[in-house]
């Protein structure tokens, strides 16, 4: 059977600050190398709802404040569709600003509250300019994908509510807030995380999980993906693992 | 950082916080600050060359010693016992992030602002924040003249509503135009109203002929759009040249004087610098962020590159976050016939990036050891060819040490 996946990239023009394009590239290439056809849909400001609905997998990255404001206005108009897609198990990866945005709210340093989409039960607080940004190489552990390697850089501290699970446990770095050892959040097949790097090329198990889940949801059958040669991926993981004195 | 010699400045500033300003004022030295993400060192060197060739005494702060301490120390080392400086001009390179602190302490005669690109987000923060801090800091200035890049919306906007003299440089040449935006563009929203900008043409990244359909903010008309002679390759270096030429025109030099001086120009170290080793040529193109990497690749592509070494480090001066390599347009900018060599602290991240760009390279050419990579590339380079090397900042220093230390046999 010939499989095909439609990858929806939310706001590639504005939400792409930390090499997020690499995640889109990783999904595309890892599909193509297995003969799975892909189509990339760029969902920029003012995109049509129909284009979002036809996506089998979603990606959204982080941005600078100004960009985030513009995106927020646009995405609120379409949040119902996004919410129902997430409920229907459409896999998605939401990084940094996008991750915060899926939560209930973001509290600025001056106390001002910016409403989130309320899809993930979590909130984020910015502790102000005197608190340090959480920056550096980071590793966290998830029981299905093992250790995930990347880089984090965020001022906001995120706290999870009762109705959501963390994506993983911090091994090195800060994670959601630098205090409770949780990193990211996951709900159905959607994942929010502070890890960029970008995350998917260097964490192929996780990338493949998103692909296989997207196929299973779309074709309603159990999928086992063909193995790929991940030697370089392993070497890149090993190099940073050595530096941080952790195993891969 | 860098220079161990900043302690005299540290002490002088402790004794008199206005030390730098006082000495420079007393000496009637004109102060020129050069800032921006890319091109500071080259622009400062261009200015120095033009002025010195025209019999002016120029004082340039050494690279690395970018902070006020460094400037103060340089002044102490260069001044006479009377505390007077016998220089006509002082040129200071200032990091985009430290500019506001510097101009709090010292009012320059000129500020040259080149561009703002994403660079080391782990250290400098996001570019909108940087631009806003600049704009706030300018409120305290009384006499400074601005030399601004009209083609960079964030930079041009610095001149908007500014009650000081502003001059603009920009490009106006079809030869350099792209109709489609390159990926690593940062500033596509209007700096004034936040609506998406429209472009008639792009020169590189987000630099081009821009306007805002919403609030009518638009690219100012440049005072200088071209020059008769460019000493360096590449669109980005042309901007640096235009900035230096416009500044020296304002200082009263004519085009003949400027051109004659530019013909003696030698690149700053690591910036298109050529080194010869046993009859073989290497050329270094410092490539420290997506934009400068793209522009370096574009520049060398014009020269049928056969052997190319890319070196990625992740030390503090390089930025510890290497995710920016995914914003480089390797997919379109690596020539099929170019043989690639890879090295650096994060060589496997680089290799992974190229794998996902479907760029061919051989596994044997992925080196954990930089010296081996250089030797291997040089071996394959003919005497009539150039072995091109694109390193990040630390990697450039290390490469240069290997090349000039003639450790290579």
CATH number of the domain encompassing residue A136: 3.40.50.880
**Cβ atoms B222, B168 nearer than 8 A:** yes
Pairs from B136-141 (Cβ < 8 Å, separation ≥ 24): B136/B100, B137/B99, B137/B100, B137/B103, B137/B104, B138/B103, B138/B162, B138/B164, B140/B103, B140/B104, B141/B103, B141/B107
Q: In what order do the strands lie in the sheet with A157-160?
A: A113-115, A105-107, A122-125, A157-160
Task: Flag whether pLDDT at B198 surpasses 70.
Answer: yes
Per DSSP, the residues of B348-389 read: HHHHHHHHHTT----GGGB-SSHHHHHHHHHHH--TTSEEEE
User: What 3-state class would DSSP assign to A193?
Assistant: strand
- The answer to whether the Cβ–Cβ distance between B320 and A236 falls below 8 Å is no
All residues of chain B having their beta carbon less than 8 Å from the beta carbon of residue A233 are: 352
Please, what is the average pLDDT of chain B? Answer: 87
Task: Flag whether pLDDT at B138 surpasses 80.
Answer: yes
Active site residues of A: 96, 196
**Residue of B239 and B116 predicted with greater confidence:** B239
The answer to whether residue A101 sits within a structural domain is: yes
The answer to whether residue A145 sits within a structural domain is: yes
The answer to whether residue A80 sits within a structural domain is: yes
> Sorting pLDDT into bands at 50, 70 and 90, what band is B82?
low
Number of cross-chain residue pairs from A and B with Cβ atoms under 8 Å apart: 87
- The percent of residues in chain A predicted with pLDDT above 70, rounded, is 99
B46-76 burial, b at 16+ Cβ within 10 Å, e below that, comes to bbbbbbbbbebebbbbebebbbbbbbbbbbb
pLDDT tens digits for range B248-269 = 999 999 999 999 999 999 998 8
Structural domains of chain B, with CATH: 4-262 (3.40.1190.10), 271-404 (3.90.190.20)
Q: Does A25 touch chain B (CB under 8 A)?
A: yes
Determine the Cα angle at B11 with ends B5 and B14, to 5°: 140
> Sorting pLDDT into bands at 50, 70 and 90, what band is B181?
low
- For residue B23, the 8-state DSSP code is H
Number of separate domains in chain A = 1
> Sorting pLDDT into bands at 50, 70 and 90, what band is B2?
very low
pLDDT tens digits for range B150-167 = 999 989 998 988 889 999
Partner residue facing B348 (CB), from A64, A70, A236: A236
> Sorting pLDDT into bands at 50, 70 and 90, what band is B58?
very high
Q: Does A158 touch chain B (CB under 8 A)?
A: no
Question: What confidence score (pLDDT) does residue B206 get?
Answer: 87
Task: Flag whether pLDDT at B298 surpasses 60.
Answer: yes
Spans of chain A below 50 pLDDT: none
pLDDT tens digits for range B338-389 = 999 999 999 999 999 999 999 999 999 999 999 999 999 999 999 999 999 9
Closest CA in chain A for residue B344: A239
Domain, as residue range, for A211? 4-243
- The answer to whether the Cβ–Cβ distance between A21 and B183 falls below 8 Å is yes
The answer to whether residue A49 sits within a structural domain is: yes
Task: Flag whether pLDDT at B147 surpasses 90.
Answer: yes
The answer to whether residue A236 sits within a structural domain is: yes
Question: What confidence score (pLDDT) does residue B342 get?
Answer: 98
The answer to whether residue A248 sits within a structural domain is: no
Per DSSP (E only), the strands in B4-136 are 30-35, 58-60, 89-94, 110-113
**Cβ atoms A121, A160 nearer than 8 A:** yes
Partner residue facing A45 (CB), from B118, B126, B196: B196
- The answer to whether the Cβ–Cβ distance between B323 and A22 falls below 8 Å is yes
Question: What confidence score (pLDDT) does residue B64 get?
Answer: 47
Mean pLDDT (whole number) for B213-231: 95
**pTM given for the model:** 0.84
Per DSSP (E only), the strands in A53-181 are 57-60, 92-95, 105-107, 113-115, 122-125, 134-142, 146-154, 157-160, 168-172
pLDDT tens digits for range A176-231 = 999 999 999 999 999 999 999 899 999 999 999 999 999 999 999 999 999 999 99
- For residue B175, the 8-state DSSP code is G
- ipTM of this complex prediction, to 2 decimal places: 0.95
Closest to B376 (Cα-Cα) out of B406, B408, B401, B348: B408
């Amino acid at each position: 059977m010939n499989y095909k996946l439609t990858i929806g990239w939310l706001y590639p023009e504005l939400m792409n600050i930390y090499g997020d394009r690499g995640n889109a590239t990783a999904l595309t290439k890892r599909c193509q190398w297995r003969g799975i056809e892909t189509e990339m849909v760029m969902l920029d400001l003012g995109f049509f709802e129909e284009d979002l609905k036809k996506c089998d997998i979603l990606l959204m990255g982080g941005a600078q404040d100004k960009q985030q404001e513009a995106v927020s206005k646009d995405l609120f108009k379409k949040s119902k569709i996004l919410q129902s897609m997430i409920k229907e198990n459409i896999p998605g990866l939401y990084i940094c600003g996008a991750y915060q945005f899926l939560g209930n709210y973001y509290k600025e340093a001056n106390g001002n509250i910016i409403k989130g989409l309320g899809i993930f039960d979590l909130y984020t607080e910015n502790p102000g300019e005197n608190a340090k940004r959480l920056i550096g190489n980071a590793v966290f552990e998830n029981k299905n994908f093992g250790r995930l390697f990347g880089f984090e850089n965020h001022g906001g501290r995120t706290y999870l509510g009762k109705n959501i699970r963390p994506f993983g446990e911090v091994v090195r770095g800060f994670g959601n807030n630098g205090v409770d050892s949780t990193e990211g959040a996951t709900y159905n097949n959607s994942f929010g995380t502070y890890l960029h790097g970008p995350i998917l090329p260097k964490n192929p198990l996780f990338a493949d999980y998103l692909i296989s889940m997207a196929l299973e949801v779309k074709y309603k059958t159990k999928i086992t993906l063909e193995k790929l040669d991940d030697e370089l991926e392993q070497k890149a993981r090993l190099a940073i693992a050595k530096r941080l004195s952790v195993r891969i | 950082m860098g220079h161990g010699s900043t302690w005299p400045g540290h002490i002088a500033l402790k004794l008199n916080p206005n030390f730098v300003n006082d000495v420079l004022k007393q000496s009637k030295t004109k102060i020129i600050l050069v800032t921006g993400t890319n091109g500071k060192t080259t622009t400062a060197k261009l200015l120095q060359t033009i002025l010195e060739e025209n019999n002016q005494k120029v004082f340039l702060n050494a690279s690395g010693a970018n902070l006020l301490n460094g400037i103060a120390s340089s002044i102490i080392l260069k001044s006479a016992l009377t505390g007077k400086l016998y220089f006509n001009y002082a040129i200071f390179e200032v990091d985009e992030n430290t500019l506001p602190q510097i101009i709090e302490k010292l009012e320059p005669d000129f500020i040259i602002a080149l561009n703002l690109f994403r660079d080391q987000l782990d250290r400098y923060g996001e570019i909108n924040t940087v631009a806003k801090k600049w704009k706030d800091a300018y409120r305290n200035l009384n006499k400074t003249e601005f030399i601004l890049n009209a083609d960079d919306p964030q930079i041009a906007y610095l001149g908007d509503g500014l009650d000081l003299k502003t001059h603009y440089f920009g490009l106006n040449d079809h030869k350099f135009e792209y109709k489609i935006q390159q990926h690593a563009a940062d500033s596509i929203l209007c700096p004034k109203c936040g609506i998406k900008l429209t472009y008639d043409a792009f020169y590189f990244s987000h630099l081009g002929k821009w306007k805002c359909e919403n609030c009518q903010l638009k690219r100012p008309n440049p005072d200088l759009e071209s020059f008769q002679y460019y000493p360096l390759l590449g669109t980005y270096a042309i901007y640096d040249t235009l900035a230096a030429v416009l500044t020296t025109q304002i200082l009263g030099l004519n085009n003949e004087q400027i051109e004659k001086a530019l013909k003696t120009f030698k690149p700053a170290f690591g910036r298109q610098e050529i080194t010869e080793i046993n009859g073989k040529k290497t050329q270094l193109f410092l490539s420290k962020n997506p934009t400068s990497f793209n522009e370096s690749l574009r520049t060398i592509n014009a020269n049928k590159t056969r052997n190319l070494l890319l070196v990625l480090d992740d030390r503090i001066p390089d930025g510890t976050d290497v995710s920016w390599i995914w914003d480089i347009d390797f997919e379109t900018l690596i020539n099929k016939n170019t043989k690639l060599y890879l090295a650096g602290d994060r060589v496997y991240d680089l290799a992974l990036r190229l794998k996902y760009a479907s760029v061919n390279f051989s596994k044997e050419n992925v080196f954990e050891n930089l010296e081996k990579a250089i030797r291997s590339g040089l071996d394959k380079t003919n005497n009539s060819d150039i072995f091109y090397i694109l390193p990040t900042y630390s990697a450039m220093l290390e490469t240069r040490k290997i090349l000039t230390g003639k450790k290579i046999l």
